[in-house]
């Protein structure tokens, strides 16, 4: 369903990129760089038609459309940030708190009463953050997952994303799309000790602790709520994006109950559906590779990785991680 980095499925005619581990463009045979299944998918009788591949230009155009459709994002006056210390490359790993004040001076919490925010926030306390401890999913938590998916699919942003993916023959119906989103984001797999202890949603949005370090945790709402409770301590930032409206991008260092995050990144001020939709797009279009996007005329990239040790459905992969790259 998504384009695996070592396969030509859905990638026939895709432009050459040095980042790809194998290639599916017309000249790859001459360069002996084709993926092993190139002939099967892209030959004269292949399974994948070139119009179903998602081009770099389409990603740039669609990401601008999704950026424009983020009607629930924070307005400039809704958030006041205090970024304080800009950390150099030699400072991010030394665990020094160089910012005495919190990152967030204020957030207009009326945002959190919007349906997608409210349903998103309800999901955040459903997880054991330590890897190796099995997640027990209650009937209520399953209802909360369904409710969140229902709310995001009501937005123009997610409807635009679905129409695009349907046009690329990735999904036949909105119901099929929603069911796959539920599996790829909320399906459980094991990061440690064989326990079903993790999911893409937990890792990316709620955060985990693995081997004494913060793992994942790329969401601004989660950060704000935990900082307000006093359990997250902001240390410094290593990147502040060029945007003068929201969403912005921040690279940051922080601790969570004493566990450290050396290289973190987050969209600031976006709606839950924006982040969820953009990461889903990049996972489906460029898993395991940099996904180059444009927001408000500024270029940026999102990196996703599939979980390779287990699958669902007919060999589909769960999301292992997704994050915005801060440069």
Residue 49 has a pLDDT of: 60
The tokens describing 55, both together, are 């081009």
Query: Which of the residues 73, 210, 237, 261 is marked catalytic?
Result: 261
Tell me the per-residue pLDDT of 146-161, one tens digit each, with 9 for 90 and over: 999 999 999 999 999 9
Burial (CB count <10 Å: 0-12, 13-18, 19+), residue 52 = middle
For residues 187 and 288, give the distance between their C-alpha atoms in angstroms, rounded to a whole number.
Answer: 19
Tell me the per-residue pLDDT of 272-284, one tens digit each, with 9 for 90 and over: 999 999 999 999 9
Q: Is the pTM of this model over 0.85?
A: yes
Instruction: Answer whether residue 197 shows pLDDT above 90.
Output: no
Instruction: Answer whether residue 305 shows pLDDT above 70.
Output: yes
| 48 in a structural domain | no
Query: Which of the residues 23, 25, 41, 203 is marked catalytic?
Result: 203
Better-scored residue on pLDDT, 169 or 48: 169
Residue 294 has a pLDDT of: 97
Residue 285 has a pLDDT of: 92
Same domain, 161 and 15: no
Same domain, 90 and 12: no
Residue 53 has a pLDDT of: 81
Same domain, 16 and 152: no
pLDDT-based confidence at residue 42 (cuts at 50, 70, 90): confident
Better-scored residue on pLDDT, 210 or 254: 254
C-alpha pair distances (Å), 261 with each of 114, 196, 254 = 29, 24, 5
Number of independent structural domains in the chain: 2
| 170 in a structural domain | yes
In the chain, % of residues over pLDDT 90: 72
Query: Which of the residues 38, 41, 73, 218 is marked catalytic?
Result: 218
pLDDT mean across residues, the chain:
92
Angle in degrees, CA 177, 157, 225, rounded to 5: 100
Q: Is 218 labeled as catalytic in the residue annotation?
A: yes
The dihedral over CA atoms of 53, 57, 59, 62, expressed in degrees to the nearest 10, equals: -110
Instruction: Report phi then psi at 184, rounded to 5.
Output: -70, -30
Instruction: Answer whether residue 72 shows pLDDT above 90.
Output: yes
Same domain, 3 and 123: no
Same domain, 30 and 179: no
| 51 in a structural domain | no
Same domain, 34 and 74: no
Instruction: Answer whether residue 224 shows pLDDT above 90.
Output: yes
Once rounded to an integer, what is the mean pLDDT over residues 171-195?
Answer: 93
Tell me the per-residue pLDDT of 2-32, one tens digit each, with 9 for 90 and over: 667 888 887 888 888 888 889 998 889 888 8
Same domain, 33 and 82: no
Same domain, 74 and 20: no
Same domain, 31 and 161: no
pLDDT-based confidence at residue 124 (cuts at 50, 70, 90): very high
| 112 in a structural domain | yes
Once rounded to an integer, what is the mean pLDDT over residues 245-273?
Answer: 96
Residue 45 has a pLDDT of: 63
| 15 in a structural domain | yes
Once rounded to an integer, what is the mean pLDDT over residues 244-261?
Answer: 96
Same domain, 149 and 114: yes
Same domain, 196 and 263: yes
| 149 in a structural domain | yes
Same domain, 22 and 153: no
Residue 327 has a pLDDT of: 52
Better-scored residue on pLDDT, 120 or 316: 120
| 49 in a structural domain | no
Instruction: Answer whether residue 47 shows pLDDT above 60.
Output: no
Q: In what order do the strands lie in the sheet with 290-295?
A: 290-295, 298-312, 316-325
| 50 in a structural domain | no
- Domain assignment of residue 106, given as a range: 56-325
Task: Report the CATH number at residue 37.
Answer: 4.10.410.20
């Amino acid at each position: 369903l998504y384009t695996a980095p070592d396969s030509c499925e859905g990638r026939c005619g895709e432009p050459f990129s040095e980042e790809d581990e194998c290639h599916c463009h017309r000249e790859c045979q001459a360069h002996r760089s084709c993926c092993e299944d190139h002939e099967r998918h892209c030959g004269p009788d292949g399974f994948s038609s070139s119009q179903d591949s998602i081009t770099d230009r389409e990603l740039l155009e669609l990401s601008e459309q999704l950026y424009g459709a983020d009607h629930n994002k924070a307005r400039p006056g809704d958030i006041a940030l205090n970024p304080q210390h800009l950390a150099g490359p030699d400072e991010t790993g030394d665990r020094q708190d160089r910012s005495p004040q919190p990152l967030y001076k204020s957030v207009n919490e009326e945002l959190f009463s919007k349906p997608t925010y409210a349903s998103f926030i309800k999901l955040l306390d459903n997880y054991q953050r330590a890897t190796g401890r099995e997640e027990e999913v209650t009937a209520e938590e399953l209802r909360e997952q369904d409710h969140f998916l229902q709310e995001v699919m009501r937005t123009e942003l997610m409807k635009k994303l679905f129409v695009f993916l349907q046009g690329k023959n990735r999904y036949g119906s909105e119901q099929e799309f929603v069911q796959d989103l539920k599996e790829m984001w909320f399906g459980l797999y094991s990061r440690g000790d064989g326990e079903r202890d993790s999911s893409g949603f937990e890792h990316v949005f709620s955060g985990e602790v693995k081997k004494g370090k913060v793992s994942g945790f790329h969401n601004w709402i989660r950060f704000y709520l935990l900082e307000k409770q006093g359990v997250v301590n902001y240390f410094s930032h290593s990147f502040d994006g060029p945007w003068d409206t929201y969403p912005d991008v921040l690279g940051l260092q922080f601790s969570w109950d004493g566990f450290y995050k050396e290289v973190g990144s987050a969209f600031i001020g976006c709606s839950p559906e924006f982040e969820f939709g953009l990461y889903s797009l990049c996972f489906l279009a460029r898993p395991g590779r940099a996904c180059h996007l444009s927001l408000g005329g500024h270029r940026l990239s999102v990196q996703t990785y599939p979980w390779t040790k287990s699958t669902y459905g007919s060999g589909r992969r769960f999301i292992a991680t997704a994050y915005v790259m801060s440069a």
